[in-house]
């Protein structure tokens, strides 16, 4: 894409124009003489980026709104003022028709406030806490939703039937209000038409519920402690500390603070050593040795997330673990080691965890957007050449590469689909500066290295058992990178064609097969295969005898009967019977060079001997005898 054309596409995206304007610009380019296919590709890419930017704007808007709500909730100290705010914000954030919130009182769930209700019978309704969808939300302590309440069969409906009919409820999303493992109640968002709730919507409502639960707990605690004069001073100190922390942490987020800023703020007040662990991290060795029970606890937190803190005591020390959860995803955990005031630290961790979850979710969204942009830049760099030197250097910078540094390119085909979170582990096992990107079903890694043999050795040692890979390089310019990318992809394709699954090689290591496979596509190979061996494939299908395997084994063993029979696990007389069939089908000269070599090479470069994959199996119209 020429520079001016690229800038025009970017200008349109930065201006936030509607999608129609992008297609209008495409039409203008076509009318101006730009290749229609190229204009269509660029327009498609622009539309995808337009959708991505819209999605990011929506997420930022929701996160900003959630921050504002958190500030409002933490500044309200009365339950009767909190609950209407929560339901009203639920309607606004999720765009639903009805939102209601209730609290647990003994064995009952009492609906306290509703926004968007059609009738007055909803507020004040008492429902057994073990009934309907509520039982799943309260019992599991996690979000539960259904796109069609009436058709859902995973729970009983009797207790809610009249209310559901009166409110015309179809889709329902419920999230628990929990603090320290205690079920305070639940928040429900309802739609009067069928609707599937997306993961980000579930996470958003769960985050709102977390803040709401903390705020409700604060208000309830304040009211209870005001009623108890004997505990008034202690309760006020705890509550003031809690509210101060809610405000302080929320202000850090509102001012643009990141996860490190929040952790520093928490560590400054905590009475012990504070540590934040990502969900994929391992416990530090000194902590694991001192608190061996913490290993299983931390592992269980990842697989069975719970909202409550865990306290483990060993000798004169203790450690508190607070999971950081957004929706159903465990983002990590806060560890507070050897705190001197366990009660105060517990409250601190409870209030810190939701703020950290919000910050970490935002950081993940930013990192994902950055990664997608970088990946697109890298793939564009590898697949499209640019003659202008300055533009080429800038494109390398955009793809997180250093101009002038030597790079090798790896094209790898994993045995199984590799989860996105494991890509970083692939890059971590390579030299610093390695960039890994998905290219269809392949992984492509650009590794800083001066010689492909170094990369081949490193990759084989760390990842070779999980993927087939082609390596090419070195390259120091975008043009070289483009060439190395094509060479690594071609090498990978050759390895897969030869059936060398799990192998790692450079093009030079393919020997003669590199030339054969570079100049003969799969279609040509299939045509030659059928021309030379079509009669045998038909015979194999008719007789249900592995004639192709027999031919390959016989040629592999130098046309010697005894070792061939052993390799095929058949009697030598059976082998001679098959050879007589081969003589009849292939002619009398198939065992002699050069005919035997031609057949042997053909079987090697087309190793997939499944007749169903070999194409048309009818005998060729011309003779296969040379």
Would you say residue 25 lies in a domain? yes
Q: Which two tokens stand for residue 10?
A: 């970017």
Q: Is residue 626 part of a domain?
A: no
Residue 589's pLDDT is 84
Task: Indicate if 395 and 336 belong to the same structural domain.
Answer: no
* 210: CB partners within 8 A, 6+ apart: 353, 354, 357
Name which of 230-234, 378-382, 414-418, 620-624 the model is least confident about. Answer: 620-624
**Residue 278 included in any domain:** yes
**How far apart (Å, rounded) are the C-alpha atoms in residues 332 and 351?**
15
What confidence score (pLDDT) does residue 146 get? 92
Share of the chain above pLDDT 70, in %: 83
pLDDT digits (tens, 9 = 90+) for 201-230: 888 888 888 888 887 788 777 777 767 766
Stretch 338-366: mean pLDDT: 80
Q: How does residue 612 score in pLDDT terms, banded at 50, 70 and 90?
A: very low
Residue 234 lies in a domain: no
Mean pLDDT of the region 398-405: 86
Per the prediction, the chain carries an average pLDDT of 79
Do 273 and 398 lie in one domain? The reply is no
Please check whether residues 18 and 138 belong to one and the same domain: no
Look up the CATH number of the domain holding residue 306: 3.30.450.40
Region 290-297: mean pLDDT is 80
Confidence band of 421 (pLDDT split at 50, 70, 90): low
Cα–Cα separations (whole angstroms), residue 477 to 132, 260, 393, 405: 64, 37, 8, 8
Domain total of the chain: 5
Given 470, 485, 511, which residue is the final one in a domain?
511
Of the two residues 571 and 467, the one the predictor is more confident about is 571
Is the same domain home to 31 and 87? no
Asked, for residue 244, whether it belongs to a domain, the answer is no
Looking at residues 370-376, what average pLDDT do you find? 83
* 95 and 212 inside one domain: yes
Do 146 and 278 lie in a common domain? no
CATH number (domain holding residue 413): 3.30.70.270
> Stretch 317-337: mean pLDDT, rounded?
82
Question: Is residue 409 pLDDT above 90, yes or no?
Answer: yes
Query: Is the domain of 497 the same as that of 526?
Result: no
Mean pLDDT of 399-405: 86
The verdict on 86 and 140 lying in the same domain is yes
Q: Is the dihedral of CA 588, 591, 593, 594 positive or negative?
A: positive
Q: What is the mean pLDDT of residues 425-452?
A: 82
Asked whether the predicted pLDDT for residue 420 surpasses 60, the reply is: no
| The 126-128 sheet, strands edge to edge | 126-128, 108-115, 98-105, 182-191, 171-179, 144-146
Euclidean distance between CA atoms 408 and 617, whole angstroms: 42
If asked whether residues 148 and 33 sit together in one domain, one would say: no
- Asked if pLDDT for residue 566 goes beyond 70, the answer is yes
Q: Does 272 share its domain with 178?
A: no
* 131 within domain boundaries: yes
Q: How many CB atoms lie within 10 A of CB 143?
A: 23
Per-residue pLDDT at 356 exceeds 80: yes
210 part of a folded domain: yes
**Cβ distance 337 to 287 under 8 Å?**
yes
Mark whether 358 and 403 lie in a shared domain.
no
Give the per-residue pLDDT at 471: 92
Confidence band for 354, pLDDT divided at 50, 70 and 90: confident
| Domain containing residue 218 | 76-224
120 inside domain: yes
Same domain, 91 and 208: yes
d(CA 84, CA 73): 11
Mean pLDDT of the region 11-29:
76
Q: Point out which residues pair with 618 in neighbouring strands.
A: none
Is the pLDDT at 357 greater than 70, yes or no?
yes
From the list 57, 43, 183, 171, the residue with the least C-alpha distance to 108 is: 183
> pLDDT grade, residue 615 (50/70/90)?
very low
Q: Which stretch of DSSP H or E encloses residue 444?
A: strand 442-448
**What average pLDDT does the segment 462-466 reach?**
65
pLDDT at res. 99: 94
């Amino acid at each position: 894409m020429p520079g001016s054309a690229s800038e025009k596409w970017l200008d349109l995206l930065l201006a936030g124009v509607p999608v129609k304007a992008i297609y209008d610009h495409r039409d203008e380019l076509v009318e101006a003489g730009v290749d229609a296919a190229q204009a269509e590709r660029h327009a498609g890419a622009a539309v995808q980026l337009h959708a991505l930017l819209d999605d990011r704007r929506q997420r930022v808007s929701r996160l900003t709104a959630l921050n504002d709500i958190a500030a409002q909730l933490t500044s309200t100290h009365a339950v009767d003022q909190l609950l209407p705010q929560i339901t009203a914000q639920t309607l606004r954030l999720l765009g639903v028709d009805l939102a209601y919130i209730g609290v647990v009182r003994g064995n009952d769930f009492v609906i306290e406030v509703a926004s968007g209700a059609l009738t007055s019978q909803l507020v004040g309704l008492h429902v057994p806490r073990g009934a309907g969808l509520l039982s799943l939300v309260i019992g599991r302590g996690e979000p539960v939703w259904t796109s069609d309440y009436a058709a859902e069969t995973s729970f009983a409906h009797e207790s809610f039937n009249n209310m559901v009919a009166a409110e015309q409820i179809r889709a329902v999303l419920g999230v628990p209000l929990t603090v320290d493992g205690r079920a305070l109640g639940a928040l429900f968002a309802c739609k009067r038409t069928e609707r599937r709730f997306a993961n980000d919507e579930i996470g958003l409502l769960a985050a709102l519920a977390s803040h709401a639960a903390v705020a409700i707990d604060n208000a309830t605690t304040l009211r209870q402690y005001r009623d108890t004069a004997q505990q008034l001073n202690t309760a006020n100190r705890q509550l003031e500390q809690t509210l101060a922390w809610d405000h302080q942490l929320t202000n850090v987020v509102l001012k643009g603070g990141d996860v490190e800023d929040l952790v520093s703020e928490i560590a400054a007040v905590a009475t012990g050593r504070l540590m934040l662990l990502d969900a994929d991290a391992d416990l530090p060795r000194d902590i694991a040795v001192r608190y061996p029970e913490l290993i299983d606890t931390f592992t269980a937190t990842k697989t069975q997330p719970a909202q409550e803190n865990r306290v483990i005591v060993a000798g004169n020390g203790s450690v508190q673990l607070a999971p950081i959860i957004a929706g159903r995803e465990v983002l990590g955990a806060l560890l507070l080691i050897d705190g001197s005031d366990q009660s105060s630290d517990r409250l601190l961790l409870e209030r810190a965890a939701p703020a950290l979850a919000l910050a970490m979710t935002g950081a993940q969204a930013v990192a994902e957007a950055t990664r997608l942009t970088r990946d697109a830049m890298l793939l564009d760099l590898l697949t499209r050449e640019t003659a202008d030197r300055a533009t080429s250097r800038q494109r390398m910078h955009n793809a997180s590469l250093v101009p002038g540094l030597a790079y090798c390119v790896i094209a790898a085909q994993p045995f199984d689909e590799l989860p996105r979170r494991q890509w970083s582990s692939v890059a971590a096992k390579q030299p610093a500066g390695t960039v890994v990107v998905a290219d269809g079903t392949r992984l492509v890694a650009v590794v800083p290295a001066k010689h492909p043999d170094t990369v081949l050795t490193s990759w084989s040692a760390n990842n070779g058992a999980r993927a087939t890979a082609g390596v090419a390089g070195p390259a120091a310019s975008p043009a070289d990178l483009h060439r190395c990318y094509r060479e690594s992809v071609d090498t990978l394709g050759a390895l897969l064609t030869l059936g060398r699954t799990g192998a790692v090689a450079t093009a030079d290591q393919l020997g003669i097969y590199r030339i054969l496979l570079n100049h003969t596509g799969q279609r040509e190979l299939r045509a030659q295969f059928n021309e030379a061996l079509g009669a045998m494939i038909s015979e194999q299908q008719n007789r249900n005898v592995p004639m192709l395997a027999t031919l390959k084994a016989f040629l592999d063993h130098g046309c010697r009967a005894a070792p061939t029979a052993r390799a095929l696990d058949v009697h030598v007389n059976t082998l001679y019977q098959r050879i007589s069939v081969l003589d009849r089908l292939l002619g009398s000269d198939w065992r002699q060079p050069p005919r035997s070599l031609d057949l042997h090479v053909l079987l090697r470069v087309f190793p997939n001997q499944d007749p169903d994959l070999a194409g048309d199996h009818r005998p060729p119209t011309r003779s296969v005898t040379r």
